[in-house]
Structure 1
Amino acid sequence: MSEYKLSIIIPTFNLENEIDNAFNSIKSQTIGFENIEVIFVDDNSTDNTLAKLNNYSHQFSNVKVLTTDKNSGYAGKPRNIGIQNATADYILFLDGDDELLLNTCEVLYDKIQFYNTDMVIAGHINVYSNGVCQHYPPLLHDNETSFKNTINPQLLNVNPAISAKLFNKFLLTKNNIIFPENIPGEDLIFLLETIINSRNILTLNNFYAYYRNLDNHSVTLNLSNDYFYGLIRAYILVCDLFEKYNIKNNIQEIVLHNHLSFFTERVIKVYFSDDFEDTDLKEIFSSDLFNELSNKDIFKDNYNFKLYFERMKNGDYNNRDLLNNIYQNFDFDSEIISDLKYVKQEISKLTIKPNKINEDNAYLRIINKKLYEENEKLKHELDEIKSSKLWKLKNKF
């Protein structure tokens, strides 16, 4: 039996200026620092991060420092190494540039023990460098919600922010659940497989577990070619996971619709970025990888999904109306209808519609860009006409 109540796994890469804040938030936990096993897994940092971690381990016997053999680029591999070396019964993940709230470990540990659940899910707070804070509860329910049937669209759509969840290690090892490596979106795959294999799950809808520190100029975090290819790989893995566990088609469609909506918003955002060429998007959507995603059975048998992929391949990136149409045509069963009605009622109570102005502005910019491109095309055709011999002959005098 472990001497620790929980293990906290922290992947690091070049975080010498941020890691102290993360570590101090762990040392300050009300559960008692001595009850926590801290496992740092450094992904071949090139700054002084590793030196700082080694200093922590020399000062505190409950701090382990491990390293990868070479930089993996994403958190999946370091986290898997952490799981292999964790000795406590429960595991919490934390990114090295984020911070736990003061009583996070105590609340999550007490809840998972008291209710004997496989996982406890809390909310998180995005904190931007300009001081803006965004609160993300796991569900729009009051207080706590217990789920015995975990194949539930609400749970499968919970924000994948991994540091807001406490996991039963036995569940992970028994089902050989690990993070996909070398891709972004590894949190999503790990979380979905954990939810599917859980006996029961508790959501703490009024409790926040950690601060996620974000730069105002970063949007999840770097919208590059590799980021989009990585998301596509992640969505392929989601489809494979659903096929493996025979998840009902209507639930698959709900979850995948939400992820494609997220994906589409990111595409629209970069469409107007000065640092991202339209040719890059065309290359992404003509790639074998995107074609592999579009050929998944769950999409091939649904006309609206098929149309979505065709439009993206043809350079028509604003598919909000089509995505809404897909939502309206879902085949809901009674349990899902009840869940979604509750969520829609809660959303309707909100007086402020987040990002509505930004979304409308992005839509107008798409229209403006299309009109500009059409105008340029017409100008080019007119120039060709003017350069023809017939035009010159008719306009000689």
Structure 2
Amino acid sequence: MHPFISVIIPVYNVQFTIESCFLSLKNQTIGFENLEIIFVDDCSTDNSPTIIGNYEKKYDNVKAIYSKENSGVAGKPRNMGMNIATAKYVMFLDPDDTFTVDACEVLYNEIEKSKADIVSGLHSKKNKFNNNEEIFPGLIINTFSDPEKSWSDRQGDVDVFKQKYPKHFYMDSIEDKFSVLGNFGLSSKIFNLDFIKSNNISFPEYIPGEDSVFLFNALINANGIAFINKIIYSYTTFRDGDNKSVSFQVDLDKNLGRIKAYSLMLEISEEKGIVDEYVHYILANKLTYFLKNFIIKPEYIPETDMSCIFDKGYDLFNEVNKRDNGVLSPEFKNIIENIANRNYDETITACYEYKRKYFSNSVKVNKKTIPFAKDMNVAVVLDPFTYNSYSNEFNAIPVEPENWHEKFEREDIDLFFCESAFSGVGEGNLVEGIAVENNYSPWGGKIGVNLIHGWDSRNQLMDILKYCKEHGIPTIFWNKEDPTSFDNPNYNFIDTALHFDYIFTTDEDSIIRYRARGHENVHVLLFASQINLFNPISTKRSNDIIFAGSWYNQFENRCKTMCDFFDKIINSKYGLKIYNRASDSTAENRMFPAKYDPFIYPKVSFDKMPSVYKESKMALNINTVTDSHTMFARRVYELMSSNTFILSNYSKGIYELFKDNVIYLDRIDSLDLSEEEISKICEENLYDVLQNHTYSNRFKYILNCIGFKYKESIEEVNIIYKAENDDEIDEIIADFNSIDYYYKNCFILSKNVNLKKSVENKDNNITFMDYENIYFLSENSSDENYFLFRNMDNKINSDFIKKALLHYKYLENNIGIKENNEKYVFNKTREYEDTLFNMSQFDNIIEVLLKYRINKFSVYNI
């Protein structure tokens, strides 16, 4: 049978959403057999290619084709799909969205009846959990007629919309109603494929906005355009944050791609002689939307990028400036006029003013309700190690001597955090969000002072402190060099610290020394572990003992200790691997003794250190400072959170925190340790660090010390039990009470509605649920909440939930956590009971519970 419609679906890393998309096609009232489904994979790196390949094997009307290279956007995959489509009509669907059940039938019947080249319905925003639909104004209402309105302002009630507008609307060509050009809802439409091919209409490739160009070209060439007042397509509101749609990416290439798309439409309109209509109904509003959402609203767009975009898009902005007939608001009229006059500096200033007026104000209103720590904007001057340690705990905004004022003016800064930095981090150090050590040193020599020669290059730093004082921004200085460098005259940080509102030091004993210099707001701040990097996720480990550090000839005691330890390890049953952090240095005082050359490996960059720390079961730590009660190497925390056993020289600070859970090599004669002992100590250290010694803990400690209010998230856990008779209730209550976690809720799920009264009589704090109302849990929960389906036939440790929530600090929300003897490894399973899940996964589990589908879940064992 020849298919009625070819449905083309571009695919890229959508393994978790593609099934719901496919099911919406299988359930079409037109008959699944009357559809030709064409999946086009754009070099996915997840399981998407396997999934669509399985569909092709199972169904004769499904085709799966695979691009040889990733194109980055959907244009090329859609063109590939059209090239092999065999039906008379074609539709397009994104793999994370769905058609309404009769979408294909309704559009097919209308296009057959009307003989139009294009038929369009409406599309909606659909809540994944409660199925509520909100109208996304369709072609009859120009979606972009008022770009100043928010998404929510441009929505309306579906029923009101249907009553207000006719069920059907037809026009012979776009000339009948040019205003319909303003909407580009690709998936709410059906196209005559012969019309598309005969007019050589295709998607531009490698640029975003490709659907806008395709639709514009199709609409202005169509003979017959029909509209149906019915929702065809549902846009899902809950998408994977890590798989952000290209539509909302704001890097320079994507923004230039959008400019290219608008330029292609301008060329087409010039050929058709409809430039006035294009500018009035599309371009003016598109450029306003573009400026607002991709230039002004994003957290940071470099000014050089902004100037480049304005220059590349000059012809577009100039056309709008020449032809504006009142569509533009005064603010955007001023911005576009400046671009048309090539006054790019004035344009950038106007963009900043707009952001402060419309976006910064809303942020300040929100902050009256107190922000979460992670949402705070913190301007930072930090070296790479510290930047990587703290950047996940707040919105870290690295400032440089040349751009600090621009960033403070543009961002709504809450705090200024500076450390005893030797180089600092700037844009030249950041690679995919990770700060790397290289020759770029924006703050080199500009934080401390040379007391011997009187060199002082702190002008920009002092200007920042003056600005912060004038604007009421608290300033924090952390001296991580205490106590060893407190009195170092070559590069001293003490005078710098005294200019800040608050001083933090790694050495508790140094507090009195700062206070003796007249500063009262001084606190201790220890190192910690960044568990997003240093965590126990399992790897294959060797029996070598790893040391990642440097040789310092100037510290005689340290050198002697290192030699003693290295020799002890070499003469034991263990191997030795030394990663020399100064391997690229030619300084004599950084050279390890030649006898250790066979054991030395080159230094490893910071982003590779987590792998090094988990390369072996054991690692060596050497402390230069041994008599401080609080100061010791940060690697101790990092190794512990990596589930790696630590050998070290004795240190007061380590012993006071961890007692004998570190083996002090200078206090034992030989390395004779049992696997059981090592495992026990590692687990105790791991949970100590996860609970008490992360950089999240440290940042909240800073906020508490300076009296900065922030909001704490509460992680509620919904524990769900299945029961069918009264006899089970007491056992359930006892089990629930045995679980050692305060923010827990008890639910009893049952098909026996008569059980509800018994549950309420037993305990008012227990909630009865029947299977029909089970979805209310997800409707009333957030991603800060979790759930667990309890199986009473199994035992779980009373502290399981507490421990599992600690692991969620570094795991993705789509991972479940389960107790298992094989710890810190991932596996796939269909078993969901006694596994803690984030509430974002609730509907997936319910689909299995209700036997709608068979899912495998990613689970992490602890």
Partner residue in 2 for 1:306: 337
Partner residue in 2 for 1:355: none
Partner residue in 2 for 1:105: 104
Is 2:342 the counterpart of 1:317? no
CA distance in 2, matches of 1:318, 1:366: 15
Partner residue in 2 for 1:334: none
Partner residue in 2 for 1:87: 86
Checking the alignment, whether the CA contact within 8 Å between 2:124 and 2:235 is kept in structure 1 is yes
Partner residue in 2 for 1:242: 269
Equivalent AA in structure 2 for residue 14 of structure 1:
N
Partner residue in 1 for 2:47: 48
Equivalent AA in structure 2 for residue 17 of structure 1:
F
Equivalent AA in structure 1 for residue 337 of structure 2:
K
Partner residue in 2 for 1:135: 135
Which residue among 197, 222, 226 is the counterpart of 1:173?
197
Is 2:36 the counterpart of 1:16? no
Checking the alignment, whether the CA contact within 8 Å between 1:285 and 1:313 is kept in structure 2 is no
CA distance in 1, matches of 2:304, 2:115: 49
Partner residue in 1 for 2:36: 37
What is the SS of the residue equivalent to 1:44?
coil
Partner residue in 1 for 2:744: none
Partner residue in 2 for 1:212: 235
CA distance in 1, matches of 2:463, 2:208: 41
Which residue among 409, 412, 432 is the counterpart of 1:373?
409
> Percent sequence identity over matched residues?
30
CA drift of 1:299 comes to 3.7
Partner residue in 1 for 2:188: 164
Checking the alignment, whether the CA contact within 8 Å between 1:118 and 1:200 is kept in structure 2 is yes
CA drift of 1:137 comes to 3.5
Which residue among 305, 324, 338 is the counterpart of 1:284?
305
Checking the alignment, whether the CA contact within 8 Å between 1:38 and 1:64 is kept in structure 2 is yes
Equivalent AA in structure 2 for residue 245 of structure 1:
K
Higher RCO (C-alpha under 8 Å, 6+ residues apart): 1
CA drift of 1:366 comes to 9.7
> Which structure's CA Rg is the greater one?
2
Checking the alignment, whether the CA contact within 8 Å between 2:279 and 2:320 is kept in structure 1 is no
Equivalent AA in structure 1 for residue 206 of structure 2:
N
Change (3 A) 1:32 1:202: same
- In the TM superposition, 1:270-281 aligns within 5 A as 270-271=297-298, 273=299, 277-278=300-301, 280=302
CA drift of 1:27 comes to 0.6
CA distance in 2, matches of 1:190, 1:81: 14
Q: Deviation string for 1:298-344 (max 9, x for gaps)? A: 24634754346546743322798xxxxxxxxxxxxxxxxxxxxxxxx
Is 2:216 the counterpart of 1:200? no
Change (3 A) 1:16 1:381: closer
CA drift of 1:268 comes to 6.1
What is the SS of the residue equivalent to 2:350?
coil
Which residue among 179, 184, 192 is the counterpart of 2:208?
184
Checking the alignment, whether the CA contact within 8 Å between 1:179 and 1:190 is kept in structure 2 is yes
Equivalent AA in structure 2 for residue 170 of structure 1:
D
Change (3 A) 1:18 1:250: closer
What is the SS of the residue equivalent to 1:80?
helix
CA distance in 2, matches of 1:189, 1:285: 23
What is the SS of the residue equivalent to 2:351?
coil
Q: Structure 1-normalised TM-score?
A: 0.75
Is 2:275 the counterpart of 1:255? no
What is the SS of the residue equivalent to 2:349?
coil
What is the SS of the residue equivalent to 1:171?
helix
Equivalent AA in structure 1 for residue 348 of structure 2:
N
Corresponding pairs, count: 336
CA drift of 1:367 comes to 11
Checking the alignment, whether the CA contact within 8 Å between 1:22 and 1:99 is kept in structure 2 is yes
Higher mean C-alpha deviation, range 231-240 or range 80-89:
231-240
Partner residue in 2 for 1:66: 65
Equivalent AA in structure 2 for residue 210 of structure 1:
Y
What is the SS of the residue equivalent to 2:125?
strand
Q: Deviation string for 1:5-50 (max 9, x for gaps)? A: 1100011011111111111110100000110011111111111111
Checking the alignment, whether the CA contact within 8 Å between 1:183 and 1:234 is kept in structure 2 is yes
Q: Structure 2-normalised TM-score?
A: 0.36
CA distance in 2, matches of 1:284, 1:313: 13
Checking the alignment, whether the CA contact within 8 Å between 1:99 and 1:212 is kept in structure 2 is yes
Checking the alignment, whether the CA contact within 8 Å between 1:124 and 1:210 is kept in structure 2 is yes
CA distance in 2, matches of 1:76, 1:241: 18
CA distance in 2, matches of 1:382, 1:27: 63
Is 2:116 the counterpart of 1:117? yes
Equivalent AA in structure 2 for residue 134 of structure 1:
E
CA drift of 1:133 comes to 4.3
CA distance in 2, matches of 1:82, 1:232: 26
Higher mean C-alpha deviation, range 181-190 or range 292-301:
292-301
Partner residue in 2 for 1:343: none
Checking the alignment, whether the CA contact within 8 Å between 1:125 and 1:212 is kept in structure 2 is yes
Higher mean C-alpha deviation, range 95-104 or range 246-255:
246-255
CA distance in 1, matches of 2:356, 2:191: 36
Equivalent AA in structure 1 for residue 282 of structure 2:
V
Change (3 A) 1:174 1:250: closer
CA drift of 1:294 comes to 1.7
Aligned-CA RMSD value: 3.4
Change (3 A) 1:383 1:252: closer
Q: Deviation string for 1:275-298 (max 9, x for gaps)? A: xx24x2x223211x5323222462
What is the SS of the residue equivalent to 1:315?
helix
Checking the alignment, whether the CA contact within 8 Å between 1:146 and 1:200 is kept in structure 2 is yes
Please list every run of 5 or more consecutive structure 2 residues that lacks an aligned counterpart in the other structure: 142-164, 325-332, 366-404, 414-459, 468-862
Which residue among 313, 316, 337 is the counterpart of 1:293?
313
Equivalent AA in structure 1 for residue 255 of structure 2:
F
Equivalent AA in structure 2 for residue 147 of structure 1:
M
CA drift of 1:248 comes to 4.2
What is the SS of the residue equivalent to 1:38?
strand
CA drift of 1:381 comes to 11
CA distance in 1, matches of 2:134, 2:251: 24
Checking the alignment, whether the CA contact within 8 Å between 1:74 and 1:183 is kept in structure 2 is yes
Equivalent AA in structure 1 for residue 351 of structure 2:
Y
Equivalent AA in structure 1 for residue 185 of structure 2:
A
Partner residue in 1 for 2:170: 146
Partner residue in 2 for 1:323: none
CA drift of 1:258 comes to 1.3
